[in-house]
Amino acid sequence: MNKDPNVLVMGQDVGYFGGVFRCTEGLYEKHGAHRALDTPITEGGIMAAAIGMGVNGLRPVVEMQFADYIYPAIDQIISELARLRHRSGGEFWSPVTVRAPCGGGIRGGQTHSQSPEGIFTHVCGLKTVMPSNPYDAKGLLISAIEDDDPVIFFEPKRIYNGPFYGHTSTLGNGGSNVATSWSAHPAGEVPEGHYKIELGKAATVREGGDVTVLAYGTMVHVAEAAIKSSGIDAELIDLRTLLPLDIEAVTTSVQKTGRCVIIHEATRTSGFGSELAAEVQEECFFHLKAPIERVTGWDTPYPHAFEWEYFPSHERIIEALERTLAVD
């Protein structure tokens, strides 16, 4: 925002208050009410206004208070934002970034826990990002803002304050954020100043030879812990950007290991894991030694009382790893 006066943040409670998850704290004081713009509660209206502002030269960064609240804006996103460049023959575009806290693990019930990334990767014309750590979040967010195409930027709310490794038995107080912190994590350090992480580039979190694990967001940490406790020599890839997908990183790894387990928190059917499985079999069919496994949320609305039974657990991840390794 220092670098480009045309960048502004807008959304419900993002201005004076600094956002319900404190993501825009201090921007109002530093940049003014017009650049940390509080809005009425109308996601469709916010989205439409952002599109118009983007067409007129600004770079709006919209906060949807929860990813679950994005649906009233979906016509504006799917029919307008995503297609504007294409339908106008390249005459108009709107470089909006939409930030949305997603995912469960905070006892948010069905309207504060969803992971709708698969809906947006299905729409042509949108880039879709989900970081798993603070260092990546900043670098990817700057890339998203500077990108001339619209980007849907999901922020897993479970890991705002620290990594979550999926050890649910130690959680108290309704499973809300426990005292984990990013300070001990290598990617918890966020440098001052401008840096970018290119959209469409995955990161290898852990190298391994026996099986490739594809994950993003909170699940990167859960998968990492599960792999560690299983003792399995798995290679863990954090996709970071879902679309455009870093297919090269994925295929290089799966061609090496010959096995693939996909993990996401979103519901299973037509989830992004389905797309990943299809891509992997297209690119790596003759290298595969076992069926591709998916560990996902169940095809039910996110249940308040059964968060941890819904959430892909260590147990389910390890079972999937063992199943794929059991096939010769």
Partner 1 sequence: MAQPQQQSQAAPLPNEGQQAPSPYNSKLHIPKASSRPGETPDFSQLQIPDAGHTEKPPIDTDAVAMQDLAYGLIRVLDDNGKAIGPWAPDLSAERLREGLRHMMHVRAYDERMFRMQRQGKLSFYMKCTGEEAIAVAQAMALNGGDMLFPTYRQQGLLFVRKRPIVDMMCHCISNAKDNLKGRQMPVFYSWKEGNFFSISGNLATQYSQAVGWAMASAYKGEDHLACAWVGDGSTAESDVYHALLFASTYKAPVILNVVNNQWAISTPQSFASAGTTFAARGTGFNIPSIRVDGNDFLAVYAATQWAAERARQGLGATFVELFTYRSEGHSTSDNPEAYRAKGEGQAWPLGDPIERLKQHLININEWSDAQHEQQAQELKDDITRDWKEAISYGTLEEGPHWPVQSMFDDVFKEMPAHLRKQRQMMGV
Q: Catalogue the active-site residues.
A: 112
Does residue number 270 form part of the binding site for partner 1 (CB under 8 A)? no
Integer Cα distance of 306 and 280 in angstroms:
32
Asked whether 199 and 239 are in contact (CB, 8 A), the reply is no
**Identified binder of partner 1 from the candidate list 104, 108, 116, 166, rule CB under 8 A:** 108
**Identified binder of partner 1 from the candidate list 4, 5, 178, 327, rule CB under 8 A:** 5
Integer Cα distance of 50 and 118 in angstroms:
23
Does residue number 16 form part of the binding site for partner 1 (CB under 8 A)? yes
Least CB distance from residue 323 to partner 1, whole Å?
11
Using CB under 8 A as the binding criterion, the count of chain residues that bind partner 1 stands at: 52
Residue whose CB is less far from partner 1, 88 or 269: 269
Does residue number 153 form part of the binding site for partner 1 (CB under 8 A)? no
Maximum CA pair distance of the chain?
62
Does residue number 35 form part of the binding site for partner 1 (CB under 8 A)? yes
Least CB distance from residue 28 to partner 1, whole Å?
7
143 Cβ contact list (under 8 Å, min separation 6): 196, 197, 198, 199
Q: If residue 227 lies in a helix (H) or strand (E), which one and from where to where? A: helix 218-230
Does residue number 178 form part of the binding site for partner 1 (CB under 8 A)? no
Asked whether 31 and 1 are in contact (CB, 8 A), the reply is yes
**Identified binder of partner 1 from the candidate list 56, 169, 170, 173, rule CB under 8 A:** 173
**Identified binder of partner 1 from the candidate list 28, 120, 153, 154, rule CB under 8 A:** 28
Residue whose CB is less far from partner 1, 32 or 291: 32
Residue whose CB is less far from partner 1, 31 or 259: 31
Piece in contact with partner 1 (CB under 8 A), picked from 90-98, 123-131, 144-152, 301-309: 301-309
* Half-sphere CA count of 147, side-chain side, radius 13 A: 26
Piece in contact with partner 1 (CB under 8 A), picked from 124-132, 233-241, 272-280, 303-311: 303-311
3-state SS, residue 125:
coil
Piece in contact with partner 1 (CB under 8 A), picked from 13-21, 86-94, 97-105, 226-234: 13-21
Asked whether 258 and 291 are in contact (CB, 8 A), the reply is no
Least CB distance from residue 33 to partner 1, whole Å?
4
| β-pair partners for 293 | 261
Residue whose CB is less far from partner 1, 88 or 111: 111
Residue whose CB is less far from partner 1, 125 or 301: 301
Least CB distance from residue 110 to partner 1, whole Å?
7
48 Cβ contact list (under 8 Å, min separation 6): 76, 80
Asked whether 324 and 290 are in contact (CB, 8 A), the reply is yes
Does residue number 44 form part of the binding site for partner 1 (CB under 8 A)? yes
DSSP string, 240-294: SEEETT-HHHHHHHHHHHS-EEEEEEEESTTSHHHHHHHHHHHHHGGG-SSPPEE
Integer Cα distance of 262 and 268 in angstroms:
11
Please give the residue ranges that form the binding site for partner 1 (CB under 8 A).
5, 12-13, 15-17, 20, 28-45, 68-69, 71-72, 107-112, 172-176, 268-269, 298-301, 303-306, 309-310
